[in-house]
Chains A and B, each alone.
Chain A
C-alpha cells in the first residue's frame, strides 16, 4: 500500500485519523415519535408534541429503527449487543427543544466491527469499527433569512440516526475517502441509510492528529465537524495535518478543539469556543427501559441479510471471470450490480462488463440518466453482446446498433434484422468486393507488391467500408492478404 508521508525540511510525519459518521436511518416515522421523516416538506409540519419537547410527552422507540441498526451492525461485521441503554446528553441549543438528546452512551447497540476498503493501488485495508449507537437528530437552524433572528425548523428533530465511530486506523486521506465510499455502498445495499452527504443524511466528523514516522504515540487530536463530502473530508485531513506539523515544528503545542473546515478556502478554523461545551452530563434516560434483544431476533435479522458488495465482488471475480477492478466498479452500487447480473445471464459476462464500463456508462452520463432510467434494458444489452459473440454483427456495427438502442430502447435483434446489419461471412460475396477494390486501385497493388505491405490494412478498410461495415473483419483480413500475395 502506498504510504502517505508528509515530509518537511525538519522531518517526516504521518497522519492518524478516525471518523465519526452520523447516518440518518431510513424509516417512515421518527425514532421516538410517530411523526413523518419526509425530507424537504414545509417547515414544522412533520413535528409531533414529542419532537417539540412538550411537557409530559414520552418517547416510544420505533421497532424499525432498531431493526435497521441491527442490519447495519451486521453489515459492518460487528458484534450486536443484546443489551443496550439510552442516555440523555444534555446541552442547550435552539434546534433541540428538549434540551437533551436521547442517545446511547455506555451501552451502544453495536460493538466492534470491521470493514475492508479498496485502495487505488489494488490493495485492501481493514478498518476497525469502534462502536455504533442510535440516537435522535436535532432540528435545523436557518441563519440567513433574517438579519437578527435564526429560524428553527423541527422537521428533522427526532429522525433516527446511527452514529458510527471508527478506530483511529486511517493513515492517509485516500483511506478515509475509500472508507466513506465503502460505507455508503454498504448502507445503500442494506437500505438502512441513503448516504447522501450533500443532503445531510450522512454527515462526517473527522479527528486528525499527526506523529513522527516510526512513532506509535497518539498525539492531541482536533475534530472537524460536519464535513459534507468525501472530497472535503480528504482535503480537511490534508490541511489539518499540515497545520499540526507546522505548529509542532515551530515548537508549539496543539490544543484539543473543535474546528470547522471551510471548503472554499481549504482551511479550518476554531469554532467559537463555548464554555463548558463538552460537559454533557450524560445520565440514563428515565423514560426508556433498556433495550434487550434476543438471540432469535438477531438470527432472524441475519437471515434477511443480502449479499454485500465485498461478497458480490468476490463472486463476480471467481465465477464470472471479471477483473478485480471491473468487479469493484460494478459492485459499488447495488443497481449497477443487479443490472450487470441480469445482462450477463446466459451471455459472455466479461464482454457484458466491458460494454457496461465503456459505452453503456458513457451513454448514461451523456444523457444524465440514472441506471434505473436507462433506455437500454439489461436484457437488450445481453442480447447485443450475444449478437457479437455469435458473429451475427461485428463489434463496429454493434456500436451503431447500441446508438439506436439508446435512442429507441428497441431489441437489438430487431434493429439488426430491420436495418439489414447482419455481418457478411459469405466468402464469395466478400471476394467479389475485394476484387472490385483491387481492380480499381492498381497503384496501391503495385506499391504493396514492391514492399509497402502495411497497405494491406488500407485494403481491408476499403472493403469493409464498401460492405457498409457488414463484412466480417477477420475473413476480410485473411482474404485480402491471400489475394494480394497471389
Chain B
C-alpha cells in the first residue's frame, strides 16, 4: 500500500497540520516507509489467532455516579488564548 502526494495533503488538512509544499515529497516517503514496515506483519499467518483488542488486558473500570470535580473555572480558562465573561472566546464559527 503506497500513498501519494494528494493523500499526504488530505491527511495534513484533516489533522490541521501545515506541511510546506517542498516537504510533501519527503513526508510521503516517510509515510510509505512506515506503512511498508507495518506490512511485514502480513507475512505472518494469523488464521488461528484471536483479534487483539488491546495490548494491556485490563478490564474496564467504572466509577460511581457522584460529582467530585468541576467548579474550577479559573484553572480551566487559565490556558485559553482568550476568555470573556467566563466563556472561551474563539474566532467566530458559524455554520
Q: Which residues of A contact B (CB under 8 A)?
A: 27-29, 33-36, 42-50, 52, 60-66, 85, 90, 92-94, 141-143, 145-154, 260, 271-272, 275-276, 279, 281, 284, 286, 288-292
Contacts and interface: CB of A to CB of B under 8 A. Distances in A.
Interface of B: 10, 13-14, 16, 53-54, 56-73, 75-77, 82, 84-95
Contacts of B92: 143, 146-150
A48 B89 CA distance: 18
A272 B85 contact: no
B87 A93 contact: no
B73 A28 contact: no
A395 B83 CA distance: 66
A238 B54 CA distance: 47
Contact of B69 (A33, A66, A147): A33
B65 A35 contact: no
Contact of A154 (B53, B69, B88, B93): B88
A42 B58 CA distance: 38
Contact of B67 (A34, A93, A279, A288): A34
A44 B80 CA distance: 12
Pairs A-B, 4 closest by C-beta atoms: A64-B65, A151-B87, A48-B69, A35-B70
Given A44-B86, A150-B94, A63 B76 contact: no
B65 A28 contact: yes
A44 B73 contact: yes
B65 A63 contact: yes
B62 A66 contact: yes
Contacts of A152: 87-90
Contacts of A291: 60
B62 A62 contact: yes
Given A63-B63, A63-B65, 18 more contacts: A34-B63, A34-B66, A34-B69, A35-B70, A36-B67, A45-B71, A47-B73, A48-B69, A49-B76, A50-B69, A85-B53, A94-B93, A143-B94, A149-B92, A276-B13, A289-B53, A289-B54, A290-B54
Nearest to A59: B63
B67 A29 contact: yes
A276 B9 CA distance: 12
